[in-house]
Copies of this chain bind each other. A is one copy, B any other.
Amino acid sequence: MADGGALPKHDVFQAIADPTRRKLLLLLDEREMPVTAISSHFPMSRTAVSKHLRILSDAGLVKERKVGRETRYRMEPEPLLELKRWLAYFERYWENKMAALKRFVEADDADGSDGAPDLTVINQDRDKPRSEP
């Protein structure tokens, strides 16, 4: 059979690109809320907020539930795992380099140089080829 047809059209990366939508996530992470209550927190029309909610919903970042005449939204964190995984690919930068930087900062006035940072260690693995994540 053919699938439901609803191609997502909005991914997590797009969804969180907009500051209003990031604010929405913070709000709906705290509590489930109906649209009018939600939109009272934003300097735009209820309809505009509703469209942002739709985009978040497309990305799976919020779930809606009808209760009487209102639609209540709450955050759904699961799609953020994709972001987390994407970010994890670059993790080595902080695993190695933050440690190196910390060491450098802590060395502080203990060195006799002109104050220019020695980034040798920090750039150590710049050219190592990697496979796709």
A residues near B, CB below 8 A?
A: 13-14, 16-19, 22, 26, 29-32, 74, 77, 80-81, 83-84, 86-87, 89-90, 93-94, 126-130, 132-133
Q: Which chain B residue has the least Cβ–Cβ distance from A17?
A: B17
Q: CA A93 – CA B61 in complex, angstroms?
A: 13
Asked whether A29 lies within 8 Å of B130 as measured between CB atoms, the reply is yes
- Closest beta carbon of chain B to A42's beta carbon, Å: 15
Q: CA A10 – CA B131 in complex, angstroms?
A: 28
Asked whether A80 lies within 8 Å of B87 as measured between CB atoms, the reply is yes
Asked whether B26 lies within 8 Å of A132 as measured between CB atoms, the reply is yes
Q: How many copies does the complex hold?
A: 2
Residues of B near A84 (CB, < 8 A) are 87, 94
Residues of B near A14 (CB, < 8 A) are 17
Residues of B near A89 (CB, < 8 A) are 26
Residues of B near A77 (CB, < 8 A) are 90, 93-94
- Closest beta carbon of chain B to A47's beta carbon, Å: 23
Residues of B near A30 (CB, < 8 A) are 128-130
Asked whether B80 lies within 8 Å of A90 as measured between CB atoms, the reply is yes
